[in-house]
Amino acid sequence: MKRSKHPWFRPRGYVHFDSPLGQAAAENLVTNPDAVATHAFYPFMRYIVETQKVNKDKATGLVLQKPPKKRPISFSAHADAHIYSYYASLLAAPYEENLRKRGLEGSILAFRSLGKSNIDFANDAFELIKEMGECVAFATDISGFFDNLDHLHLKKAWTRLLGLESLPADHYSVFRSLTKYSYVNLEDVLKTLGLSANNPPRSPERLCSPQIFREKIRGSGLVKQHREAKGIPQGSPISALLSNIYLLEFDKRLYDEITRRGGHYMRYCDDILCIVPTDNAENLFDYVDGLISEYGLDINELKTDTIHFAKVSGALKAERPLQYLGFTFDGVHKLIRSSAFAKFSDKMRRGVNLAYQTTKKHNKTRKKATRIWRQNLYERYSHLGNRNFVRYGLRAAKKMNSQAIKKQLRPLWKRLEQKIAKADEEL
């Protein structure tokens, strides 16, 4: 008989210290509280994701690269991941019910099944500003969000969500694995096991046997312990939900304050946006800053902005555009942030250059030289593809009814064709 699919069960294609589990074995594990309470969690595997930040110099038109932003991503062993997914599903229902009872279902936007994207959320915020008219938009960012979640507060929030005095043994086991967690650097593990970092294995059931793990991985001192009283690994199937649970009381208090001021409150992960009538915006920064500090967190002042929207000759205008979730709004025009275009142009340039180098190499062994193969470039960098920046921009333009975004996108096709033509000439 075919076993029914569970939302929490998802086979994972990566290789870890344990073998993948089928649905039956995973279900037997995660639905047994005693087994979870005594489960020995493997160390997380950690690698660093670098996000290249770029800016376009307005004077010269050159794309300038900023220092890359480094973010550690951790992924758990197969059995551990199933436990995290299952317990996330157990916690999601009471969390959603709490949001509904507190009137927060429209304010907390990230890590929930809402059938919307950041395009929708940004557009909703901009429409609220237009509807309110003269107002102040206060946007800020929580510094090092996942790295600074206080363990004691997380434990209390988790317990409170369950309506209990203390965490049951199985829940505590999951909590402890995420706060007193251990981890190994993926690059170090591959090197120790004699595996290629450029082409990590995908076919073996597990990276190594339990004995080799004890001798070569743990025995070589590769396993590192997280000893701070704050921070959870970013990347586990339950981390995102726990970050929302952590801020449940904060969200309610800030929502109530902003509502009292006649405004709207939205939070997308670590991005906070408050929109209030101009007359009610006094000391808004101080209030949010003081409130978030009660939860062991700080706002990032470098990413904090207060934008005043006012009526000028009957039209809503801002002193400078509000930046929110990758878009900007000045009271009239909804645009994609210029830095996104600078980043895309840089990727396009590198993509065409790689195609040029590849074609040049292959032409050395061909009787007749060929031009650059265009199909992949069109798929990645034009409206002819299905999932790329240009298609994303077109979806945003349609959703936001923004001719300004269409105007932003218009030069990209010509720019791509010019780069390809120039590369062809040099072959």
What pairs with residue 184 in β-bridges? 45
Q: pLDDT (tens digit, 9 = 90+) per residue, 342-357?
A: 999 999 999 999 999 9
Helices (H), 138-168: 151-162
pTM score, whole prediction: 0.90
- Concatenate the DSSP letters of all residues of 2-70 into one string: PPPP-TT-----S--SS----HHHHHHHHT-HHHHHT--PPPEEEEEEEE--EEE-TTT--EEEPPPEE
pLDDT attached to residue 2: 47
**Other CB atoms within 10 A of residue 311 CB:** 11
Query: Residue written as tokens 């004699």?
Result: 194
Task: Please report, for the chain, the start and end positions of each structural domain, with discontinuous segments joined by +.
Answer: 23-98+150-225, 107-146+242-330, 339-426
Q: Give the relative orientation of helices 248-260 and 151-162 as an angle to the nearest 10 degrees.
A: 80
Q: How far is CA 46 from the centre of its chain?
A: 16
- Locate 241 and state its tokens: 């939900």
Q: What is the pLDDT at residue 256?
A: 98
Strand bridging mode 69-75 / 44-51: antiparallel
| Spatial separation of the C-alpha atoms in residues 159 and 406, rounded to whole Å | 49
Model pLDDT, residue 72: 87
pLDDT recorded at residue 198: 75
Do residues 12 and 81 make contact, with C-beta atoms less than 8 angstroms apart? yes
The answer as to CATH 3.30.70.600 being correct for domain 107-146+242-330 is: yes
* Sign of the alpha-carbon dihedral angle for 206, 210, 216, 218: positive
pLDDT under 50 in the chain at which residues?
1-2
